[in-house]
Structure 1
Amino acid sequence: MARGGQGLARVAVVVRAGAAPLWWCGAFAAGVGVLVPGLTGRRIGVMAGAVLFLVAAAVVTYGSRKRYTALAAAAARAGKHDVLQDRAVTVRNWRRGHRWWLLLAFVAALVSSFAVPAAGGMLLAGLGTGLRLKAAWLGRRERAGDALLWVRVDWLGAHGGRPAGKAVKVYRSTGIAAGDAAPGGARRRTDALV
């Protein structure tokens, strides 16, 4: 980075990066888990899984909101020499950094089906849903403040890190049109001319 610029990744994109793999791994593991009767039986397994899904989604959605809010309120304007990381690069870095954890969680969800069918998979799906809801909440904050939130890449660490972790000191902000991701971290849609 020339002249003191920093590499910046979108906060909402980092949050959202794990949502799809966790949800799909969880859905697949739950589907396979239903085929196994397990120690508790399918009905109890699915009911326990539903509770785990709801609890996991709520905990992830509402967890660390005060920290995100404080960092967003104190966000400094991004400098002209800062480099905005593409959405695809941010997602790829997060998924590469967490691929072994995702694989381990998937295997654990499958193995747990022999005890409590589908519960482990539904827990993973709940975590993914919670991340998607948290990213949507960040998107609403970004739209309300008319500014996108960014975090320094080096503060995220080698594995994509946590965008509200202890290493993160302050967010940077840009105009709502900056970068290639919409508020909330989704791909920016280009409307066709009518």
Structure 2
Amino acid sequence: MRGAYTLARVAVTVRVAAGWLWWLGVVAAVPGTAVTFSPTGRRIGVMAGVVLFVVAAAVSFLFRGSRHAERARGASRAAKSVFLQDRRVTARAWLRRRRWWLLAVFVVALASNAVLPCAAGMLVGGVGAGLWLRSRRVARIERSRDGLLWVRPDGDPALYQLTGIAAGDAAPGGGRRRHR
């Protein structure tokens, strides 16, 4: 690839999705604890929500989760002419592209409290928890490769590129880098 282009961290995009889905799920589930007029009842809704949380976390962690390791094996070294996106810029871009989708998920989860309290919110939170676990898996991959995985935000998401472990402002796994 010739010329300068931008790269975004793979782990940051996974972690941003995890954070937003987790908090939207929590905020959507909390009002369900106060619902007393549901046809199924609060207890059944919460128990169904727990089951949905565990299943959603497992599915979002395991479903296509090995693709990060496969793509990391095929990753090429990033060129010196690339621009590495900041963690905040990557998070803002991810949110901007998906804000209406997230709003729709939140409204549906909140509205479903009238039928099955807490369940849909806990489902959304479970997806967020599974994605957070997946970001931890990406961190292990990055540490084992002794490099960070990047992807072009405007290109093919399957083409990972690799930089040194000190590149960028995010630690392995997408969290904030702790400076000592």
Q: By the TM > 0.5 criterion, same fold?
A: yes
SS in 1 for 2:149: strand
Deviating beyond 4 angstroms after TM superposition, the runs of 4 or more aligned structure 1 residues are none
Which of 161, 168, 190 is the equivalent residue of 2:179? 190
What corresponds to 1:180 in structure 2?
169
One-letter identity of the residue aligned with 1:18: A
Which residue is 1:28 aligned to?
27
3-state SS, counterpart of residue 65 of structure 1: coil
Q: Alignment length, in residue pairs?
A: 178
Aligned to 2:102: 102
Q: What CA RMSD, in Å, does the superposition of the two structures yield over aligned residues? A: 1.1
Distance 1:58 1:108 in 2: 22
- Where does the alignment leave 5 or more consecutive residues of structure 2 unmatched? none
Say which is worse superposed, 76-85 or 56-65, in terms of deviation.
56-65
Q: What is the distance in 2 between the residues matched to 1:10 and 1:180?
A: 10
Task: Report the Cα offset of residue 18 of structure 1.
Answer: 1.4
Give unpaired runs (5+ residues) of structure 1: 156-166
Post-superposition offset of 1:19: 1.4
Deviation at 1:66, TM superposition (A): 2.9
Residues 9-58 of structure 1 deviation map (CA, whole Å, 9 limit, x = unaligned): 00000111111221111111111011113111011100000011011111
TM-score normalised by L of structure 1: 0.88
C-alpha distance in structure 2 between counterparts of 1:55 and 1:90, whole Å: 29
Tell me the secondary structure at the aligned position of residue 4 of structure 1: coil
Amino acid at match of 2:12: V
Alignment correspondent of 1:14 = 13
Describe how 1:44-55 pairs up with structure 2 within 5 A. 44-55=44-55
